[in-house]
């Protein structure tokens, strides 16, 4: 019996974005935000795990930021409870390097910096 031809992907072939794709969207969100504010953003060429996702430098002030991008996720402790943000902890190496975490909501484009940026840098982002 001949196989039936499908015009498009079936429901089982359509997949939601995986963690790497979502992380890439979050990194692109932060990079786009900073470049629109005049920052030069360097991204990692290879997808290796490391303490830094992006490096940003402001050309006029020469301030720079080492950034680890985190997709903002929320989780309820128990069914029916209000969802709370899942806070990530910087590694000892990240703390020594001064890496900041950029919690990003890719849908809204909202970015929250942790720890908060120094006031002279916060004015520029």
With tokens 């919690």, the residue in question is 103
Give the tokens for residue 96: 């020594």
Q: How far is CA 24 from CA 3, 21, 43, in A?
A: 38, 5, 11
Supply the DSSP string of 71-82, one letter for each residue: E--EE-SSTTSP
Domains of the chain plus CATH, in order, are 19-122 (3.40.1350.10)
- What dihedral angle (degrees, nearest 10) is formed by the CA atoms of 13, 14, 18, 21? 120
Residue 53 and residue 45 in contact, taking contact as beta carbons nearer than 8 Å = no
Query: pLDDT class for 120, splitting at 50, 70, 90?
Result: confident
pLDDT of residue 65: 95
Q: Taking the complete model, does pTM exceed 0.85, yes or no?
A: no
Distance from C-alpha of 20 to C-alpha of 26, rounded to nearest angstrom = 10
pLDDT digits (tens, 9 = 90+) for 95-107: 999 999 999 987 7
pLDDT digits (tens, 9 = 90+) for 57-75: 999 999 999 999 999 887 7
Distance from C-alpha of 118 to C-alpha of 37, rounded to nearest angstrom = 16
């Amino acid at each position: 019996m001949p196989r039936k031809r499908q015009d498009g992907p079936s429901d089982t072939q359509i997949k939601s974005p995986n963690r790497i794709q979502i992380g890439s969207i979050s990194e692109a969100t932060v990079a786009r935000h900073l470049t629109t504010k005049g920052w030069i953003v360097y991204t990692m060429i290879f997808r290796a795990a490391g303490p830094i996702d992006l490096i940003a430098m402001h050309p006029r002030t020469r301030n720079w930021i080492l950034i680890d991008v985190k997709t903002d996720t929320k989780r309820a402790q128990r069914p029916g409870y209000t969802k709370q943000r899942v806070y990530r902890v910087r590694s000892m190496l990240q703390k020594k390097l001064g890496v900041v975490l950029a919690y990003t909501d890719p849908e809204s484009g909202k970015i929250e910096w942790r720890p908060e940026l120094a006031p002279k840098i916060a004015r520029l982002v």
